[in-house]
């Protein structure tokens, strides 16, 4: 009975959603607004927001990858909030999975092929993750994917070696240092120019590694932070093993 009701509700919702989204065009060019006065540029303009980002983004931020420009520069304060949500969630997982009586679970050893292979691959995967977040302002990628790749390399070690444990103290130290870097860079911007997260370093030439001011610094910090938090989540969910 409950299944039938749920199925009917689901089909009704599907029809409502489909009717709602039938009017939104797919894959068409971004439309212009009617003319309006833009107080920042001090002129009339008819650009929508993404067109504004795509037109002026390279000059405003110095980054080549516009997604990075939006995440770190235009919406940097949002990203600070999101990283805080991530921190709270990983703290919650750690505190909920904490066991006092340390019930130890028996784990079988994995075989020699898996152990040797994962020892070989671990370094390469960490290197790839670091590449992703260091080049976040030039190529696709950035702190969030890089951190996820680093955490998956630690997951490989956890799966291959039953007794492996990442040291909690080192994870805590790297996580807090990365968070501090983010906030200190933001506060330096506040001191120098009066805006939180102001891009105070020189932009340099676009498409070069040392360009875009503080964006690479912040993205490296985000990468380290996300990596250590996700590793902490994996460690907590894994439990105590023997």
Partner 1 sequence: MIPYYYLGSISLVVIGIYIVIAKKNLIKIIIGLDIMDTGVNLLLISVGYVKNATAPIENVPGPYVDPIPQALVLTAIVIGVSVMALALSIAIGIYKKTGTLELDEIMGVEE
Partner 2 sequence: MSDIILLILQIIGYIFISIGTFFLLLASIGLLRMPDVYNRMQTATKATTLGSLSVLIGVGLIDLWWLPKSLIIAAFIVLTAPIGASALARASYKHGVKLWEGSVVDKYKEEKEED
Partner 3 sequence: MDLFTIVSLILITIMIIAAIIAAEIKDLLSAAIASGVMSLVVSILFYMLQAPDVAITEAAIGAALSMAVMIFGIKSTKRWEK
User: Nearer Cβ to partner 1, position 14 or 36?
Assistant: 14
- Kindly state whether residue 233 participates in binding partner 3, applying the rule CB under 8 A: yes
- Kindly state whether residue 155 participates in binding partner 3, applying the rule CB under 8 A: yes
Q: Rounded to the nearest whole angstrom, what is the least distance from the CB of residue 142 to partner 2 in the complex?
A: 21
Choose the contact partner of 124 out of partner 1, partner 2, partner 3, none; CB within 5 to 8 A by kind: partner 2
**The Cα angle at residue 204 between residues 201 and 205, in degrees rounded to 5:** 160
Phi, psi of 62 (to 5 degrees): 85, -5
- Kindly state whether residue 183 participates in binding partner 1, applying the rule CB under 8 A: no
Which tokens sit at 206?
Answer: 């676009």
Residue 36, C-beta contacts closer than 8 angstroms, at least 6 positions apart: 44, 45, 46
- Kindly state whether residue 148 participates in binding partner 3, applying the rule CB under 8 A: yes
Choose the contact partner of 118 out of partner 2, partner 1, partner 3, none; CB within 5 to 8 A by kind: partner 2
User: Nearer Cβ to partner 1, position 26 or 37?
Assistant: 26
Count Cβ neighbours within 10 Å for each residue of 54-91 and write b for 16 or more, e otherwise: eeebbeebbbbbeebbbbbbbebeebbeebeebbeebe
Of 173, 198, 202, residue with least CA distance to 185: 198
User: Nearer Cβ to partner 1, position 92 or 117?
Assistant: 92
Which tokens sit at 8?
Answer: 């009917």
Residues contributing to the site for partner 2 (CB under 8 A): 108, 110-111, 113-114, 117-118, 120-121, 124
User: Nearer Cβ to partner 3, position 18 or 191?
Assistant: 18
- Kindly state whether residue 45 participates in binding partner 3, applying the rule CB under 8 A: no
- Kindly state whether residue 208 participates in binding partner 1, applying the rule CB under 8 A: no
User: Nearer Cβ to partner 3, position 21 or 37?
Assistant: 21
Cβ atoms 121, 154 nearer than 8 A:
no
């Amino acid at each position: 009975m409950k299944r039938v009701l749920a199925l009917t509700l689901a089909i009704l919702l599907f029809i409502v959603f489909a009717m709602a989204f039938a009017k939104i065009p797919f894959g068409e060019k971004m439309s212009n607004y009617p003319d309006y006065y833009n107080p920042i540029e001090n002129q009339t303009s008819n650009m929508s927001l993404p067109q504004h980002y795509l037109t002026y983004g390279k000059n405003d931020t110095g980054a080549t990858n516009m997604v990075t420009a939006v995440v770190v520069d235009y919406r940097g304060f949002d990203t600070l909030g999101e990283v805080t949500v991530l921190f709270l969630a990983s703290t919650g997982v750690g505190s909920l999975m904490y066991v006092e009586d340390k019930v130890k679970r028996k784990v079988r050893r994995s075989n020699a092929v898996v152990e040797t292979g994962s020892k070989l691959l671990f370094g390469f995967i960490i290197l790839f993750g670091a590449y992703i977040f260091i080049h976040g302002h030039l190529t696709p990628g950035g702190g969030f994917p890089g951190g996820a790749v680093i955490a998956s390399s630690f997951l490989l070690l956890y799966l291959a070696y039953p007794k492996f444990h990442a040291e909690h103290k080192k994870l805590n130290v790297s996580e807090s240092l990365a968070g501090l870097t983010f906030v200190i860079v933001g506060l330096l911007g506040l001191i120098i120019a009066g805006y939180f997260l102001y891009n105070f370093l020189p932009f340099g030439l676009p498409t070069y590694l040392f360009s875009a001011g503080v964006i690479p610094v912040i993205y490296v910090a985000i990468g380290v932070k996300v990596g250590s938090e996700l590793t902490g989540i994996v460690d907590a969910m894994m439990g105590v093993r023997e």
